[in-house]
Structure 1
């Protein structure tokens, strides 16, 4: 090779899109070509003389050290991947080709930026993960926790909050808010007033909002949007062309959300919005299958599930329990004289009255028509059940005004006790129904 061409070699190396490093045995950068600035954000002068690990992502220190030992032991390596922190704070994914020069005591490494490829892979993985979460989550609370974990795998996340508005911006709620690095054990990502202000801004504009930590703390707050990389990102959740909520993300200390991060999160937020809508639909369908539409009480199907569970629990704990079967007296007369609308409102009033007579742990259910049942767990004996029956009679007898008519309701109530009247659900239900019938038609034997 002639001398002039040798002199021009550094210029040719600087034309490469990959970064070329010479690193000594102690880990100091001896030489790097100009591609370093495009990939890492630092100039040749800024990187030369520095320890290579000073630019490395902290989580990759150990395995990168192990890889470097393999290279220095004389094993050429191709395809090792690790992460570096760009000068502007975002993560750069690198794939290496490296070998050791024993004569020069140098590692020669070629670094290829595969961040774009990793982004595409992350988009695909996030889509699959969110879809799986939407199907596997038993409710919205568990869905939000799964989404938090998915997003944390994609970007440097220190906290996440979800705001939902049920298609009405003035009905903003915060069903999920978690701060992973909260001071003094503070689990709140933001105080509600600040979070509400940020969310309302995004809901009205329909556009993401980017803030630095300083801008968020500034008096101007929401107006001080960050340019470039941001420490806070507030994204609208849009499903079927409607904004259903807002996603608030806080970057880890020292990290910022880059353009690539925002691209990924914009895509993920769309998947999250769809998952939330799917979760809501699932919850509505589940509730419709388990609760009475008129009174919002558990229906016959859910009652039987609750009775079986309560009975199994009472057997295991060896505690007595009671079942009350309630039939409203002369309810047909209310329907015939005041109309079915008045009858429906009376049933709703009765449902709330019954709920007011029992503990939160007890179950009040509507079997249909004017028939209700109550499961009383962990009672001390028949006297507890009889006391509840007296409360029910007093509550129903209290005046109730419907369409200008004052009503005083009465009910026939049958009582079954476990274990005295049976050890199976059907036995207790049959006994309480029989006692109710005898009370309605005449004195109980």
Structure 2
């Protein structure tokens, strides 16, 4: 079995993460439980940053906080010297409450509200990634009202498709995101923003998809963007200070996945960008990237307690756990695949094949289909790997199930960073009916 990060097996035969026994974690904090290997997150962050440094390129590595946002997570990212992407007022609020430097915050999103924009301007964030003409007008208008200037990147769609699942493609021409680079929209946006005193155009941004295992797509996108930058230099004397090539760097969910090391993505992309800048005789811009999943994805493991089982002769064996689509909706959304082990004996030889069912009242609440597994019984702990991105971030209260707790583990220590919701939390914002309309007592 392939283990991730600092995961190992102790003298009790139990799975450990960060030097902490997962069975003890389950006893102390309950299940379901998200467990983050913070040493692995630090290693990934340093892998991106160090490669830029070695290549002598000025850069920002910005954590895409949509993958997993909490006060403790933002503080961890801050400790590693990264910048931060936010896509909502809530993510921005979390970052500010975490004490994150607003000058290193980049605000994304295809439909920012006036309230969110005003909040970001009041906080003096580093830049807005502008997505459409409506936002240009809205942002410039609010800047004028407040007497402020906003630095912006123009998000463009370069028409490049990454090798990923259709539901999470974002860089192709038919996308809700950005200004199309091919049909003249991006150039129109550039001309418009260059004429607005309230906006300072730092450069261009693109994001071509998610869970990408090679650098070809990134390089093709960079080629298209730099070609346009050359044209715009001649026509408008526009020199991009920043070229943001987005994120989407893949991780290993199962044995079939073969992602590159963080530094390899950076090395291949920068080598080509440098060549293109020389070819077009342009000044090398600051390069920004936006890893999210690649920082937190395989650093997260979800622990569940095994419950009921069901045998359907000559069809399937079901094994149910105490969570499901309420804490990991990705399998139901787009057939995401995972590996898992019985944490009590993770190295034991598989003796059967089961399908892991969640407890939600939906036929589609299945976490893993056809998992080879060792002997198991009710009360065992199941560890599902690589749930650190879009697990807690997309968790929900379907069936009025409270969201799980989150712990960080490192160097043999466990720290609770998000408390488990309780039933009182579920009704905290509920209001009783005050007026009876035609009801009978």
User: Which interval holds the TM-score relative to the shorter structure?
Assistant: under 0.3
TM-score calculated relative to the size of structure 2: 0.19
Give 1 or 2 for the bigger CA radius of gyration. 1
The TM-score, its normalising length taken from structure 1, stands at 0.19
More helix by percentage:
1
* Higher RCO, Cα 8 Å, sep 6+: 2
